[in-house]
A and B are shown apart, each in its own frame.
Chain A
Amino acid sequence: MMWLSGGFIFRKGYSFYHRLDPRAKLLNSALMFVTTLLARSIFEMVLVVAFMVGLSAAATVLKRVARTMAFTALFSGFIFVVNVLFTRDLETSVLYATRFVAIVVSTSIFFITTSPDELEQVMKMFRLPRDVVFAFVTAVRFIPVMMLDTIQIMDAQKSRGLELEKGNLVRRVRNMIPILIPLVVNSVVRSGELAEAMEARAYGAAPKPTSLLEYRARRVDIGVACASVVLFALAAYSFYFVIPVQFP
């Protein structure tokens, strides 16, 4: 699970793509997303996927994107089977199955290369309420802490004789209870302490909080944004007017 979900979690990187303004990355991923919806044939879809693979390689995240693809393969296989059963059209089914993979990849490129700090910035840009943004920030911030908590609790309970890997499904689910309860208690205590610490650091004091980080679009960012718009327009144009439609 950890291995697979790694395809969506940010890790520090220093490629040109990592360093782009988060807004440029968001725009690019959004346009790639829409392009996958516009592709009407397998050939077009292959073009889109090839582009995203190239981009991932340039952003030094190809390995992790490949992992995302492997992860989605299972679902896309399912989509393929269902489609074959209902439409009895192999080409459409392949198209839908690859489209699913492509959609996931387009979003995953954004999440893999955008730091939580930048995500926060993007959320603020969409004028989400401060509390919502802050809830997101703390949730992401405490993911590693909670994972460590879970491991420690599991070890503690195992050393007291809890056997997690034994028994049938019902038994195994029931075995999770001694893990979940301390975890929930921990989180309740934690959120109480967090609330106090937030007050002590003046959370909510100013109607307009400021930010240490400044995101100012540089030339590169604007250049990349323009390039993705142009590419998108080109792709959309050629999908509809240049490349002949092959399926019914």
Chain B
Amino acid sequence: MGDILKIEGLNFRYPESPRNAVSDFELSIPEGEIAVLAGPSGCGKSTLLRTVNGLIPHMYGGEYSGDVIVAGSSVKGSSMRDLAQTVGFLFQNPENQIFMFTVERDVAFGLENLGVPREEMRSRVDEALRLLRIGDLAQRAPHELSDGQKQRVALAGVLAMRPKLVILDEPTSLLDPKTASELVTLVARLREELGTTFVVVEHRLDLLVGVADRLVVMDGGRKVLEGSPRDVLFGDDAEAHGVAIPAVTRVQKALTESKGGRAVAGGLLTPSELASAVEGRRR
């Protein structure tokens, strides 16, 4: 399988901004991966996502150089119409991406815009509702939904367009811990069932390390670290770039330091890994 996303030498500066929001960026994401993008606020994560779905450069002015290639076509050269069908974008605030009066109408919104015939639209909407297990909400009005439900509705609207790549910008920032971890489980399941590639901007790494294949850390518009979550989080630089190291990893690091590296077998990221490591030592 090839790369669904390739960013090559990308630089972008917003109009009237003194410095680049994204600088010399290189990134390749193979199809079917879940990649996590982390970094301090204002480091350019959302900007990078906008260059992937074409809002930059199609909607924003500014200085743009380099190339972003999604599913083999350059974003610069593609229309928003085509991009909307390959790249799904789940924005931070689900409230502001639900347009219609009922859930099912909203899930259909993108398809209506594309002029998809009614019968096909019906089946794709039902499929998206089923995938997200929100069929019972179909006739609800947006203001009758909880934040977690709104998030699912927005994601259903994105998935109904059958994108190959879905990008999520801080999807859990408005969710309580339980709903947030449900969303992560959902993303993992969708990747299994549909083979969709996900790029997720997320601060709460402890939620995602269990399912992510790749962790990219940004700082000041540049990519500063990249690798498997294990390699990045156990490396020496992660903390320096303000990455929130998961508690399990911190525990293991502390144990390793105090007991001269014998404490627990290497590279623990999730509580269940820690649990089985500890169990293993007891026996």
Q: A201-B109, A205-B80 are in contact. Are A210 and B115 (CB under 8 A)?
A: yes
Q: How far is the CB of B57 from chain A (nearest CB, A)?
A: 12
Chain B's closest residue to A10 (CB) is B101
Q: With A140-B101, A208-B115 known to touch, is A201 a contact of B157 (CB < 8 Å)? A: yes
Cβ contact within 8 Å between B112 and A116: no
**Distance of A196 Cα from B56 Cα, bound (Å):** 10
Cβ of B35 within 8 Å of any chain A Cβ, yes or no, is no
Of the residues A141, A196, A202, A204, contact of B101 by C-beta under 8 Å: A141
Which residue on chain B has the smallest CB distance to residue A204? Answer: B113
A130 to chain B, nearest CB (A): 10
Interfacial chain B residues near A212, Cβ < 8 Å? 104-105, 108, 111-112, 118, 121-122, 125
Report how far A57 CA is from B212 CA in the complex, Å. 59
In contact, B118 and A211 (Cβ under 8 angstroms): yes
Contacts of A204 in B (CB 8 A): 113
Complex alpha-carbon distance, A207 and B96, angstroms:
24
Cα–Cα, bound, A159→B100 (Å)? 34
With a CB–CB cut-off of 8 A, which chain B residues contact A207? 115
Q: Answer whether residue A237 sits at the interface, using C-beta atoms and an 8 A cutoff.
A: no
**Minimal beta-carbon separation of A146 from chain B (angstroms):** 11
Nearest chain B CB to A233 CB, angstrom units: 36
Q: How many residues of chain B are within 8 Å of chain A by beta carbon?
A: 44
Q: Are A206 and B114 in contact (CB under 8 A)?
A: yes
Q: A199-B80, A202-B161 are in contact. Are A116 and B101 (CB under 8 A)?
A: yes
Interface flag for A151 (CB, 8 Å):
no
Q: Which stretch from B12-20, B87-95, B235-243 is at the chain A interface? A: B87-95
Residues on A with C-beta less than 8 A from B54 are: 199
Name the prevailing secondary structure of the A interface residues. helix
- By CB atoms of chain B within 10 A, which of A115, A144, A206 has the most? A206
Instruction: Tell me, yes or no, whether A137 is within 8 Å of chain B by CB.
Output: yes
Is the beta-carbon distance between A193 and B91 smaller than 8 angstroms? yes
Please, which residues of chain A bring their CB within 8 A of the CB of B50?
Answer: 196
CA distance A212 to B139 in the complex (A): 13
Q: How far is the CB of A10 from chain B (nearest CB, A)?
A: 9
The docked-state distance in angstroms from the alpha carbon of A203 to that of B113 is 5
Say whether A206 contacts B113, CB under 8 Å.
yes
Give bound CA distance, A204 to B98, whole Å. 16
Residues of B100-146 whose CB lies within 8 A of A: 100-102, 104-105, 108-118, 121-122, 125, 142-143
Please indicate the chain B residues that have their CB under 8 angstroms from the CB of A193 in the complex: 91, 93, 96-97
Q: Is the beta-carbon distance between A197 and B88 smaller than 8 angstroms?
A: no
Q: Does B59 contact A (CB under 8 A)?
A: yes
B114 A205 Cβ-Cβ under 8 A: yes
**A145-B95, A202-B85 in contact; A209/B100 too (CB < 8 A)?**
no
Which residues of B sit under 8 angstroms from A141, Cβ to Cβ?
A: 98-101, 142
A202 CB → nearest B CB, Å? 4
**Cα of A205 to Cα of B85 in the assembled complex, Å:** 11
Per-residue B-contact encoding for A178-201, CB less than 8 Å = 1, 0 else: 000000000000100111111111
Give the shortest distance, in Å, between A201 (CB) and chain B (any CB): 4
Query: How far apart are B154's CB and chain A's nearest CB, in angstroms?
Result: 8
Interface residues as binary, A112-144 with B (CB distance below 8 Å gives 1, 0 otherwise): 000111000000000000000010011011001
Residue with the highest number of chain A CB atoms closer than 10 Å, among B53, B97, B116, B142: B97
A202's nearest neighbour on chain B, judged by CB, is B84
Q: Residue A165 at the B interface, CB < 8 A?
A: no
Is there contact, CB below 8 Å, between B96 and A197?
A: yes
A198–B157 alpha-carbon span in the complex (Å): 11
**Can you name 8 extra interface pairs (CB under 8 A) apart from A148-B143, A196-B59, A212-B125?**
A134-B99, A137-B101, A196-B55, A205-B115, A210-B112, A210-B117, A213-B105, A214-B118
A-B pairs, top 8 by smallest CB distance, nearest first, are A206-B115, A197-B97, A202-B84, A205-B81, A212-B108, A201-B110, A193-B96, A144-B143
B interface residues (Cβ-Cβ under 8 A, vs A): 50, 53-55, 58-59, 80-81, 84-85, 87-89, 91, 93, 95-102, 104-105, 108-118, 121-122, 125, 142-143, 157-158, 161
Q: Give residues in A with beta carbon < 8 Å to B.
A: 115-117, 134, 137-138, 140-141, 144-145, 148, 190, 193-214
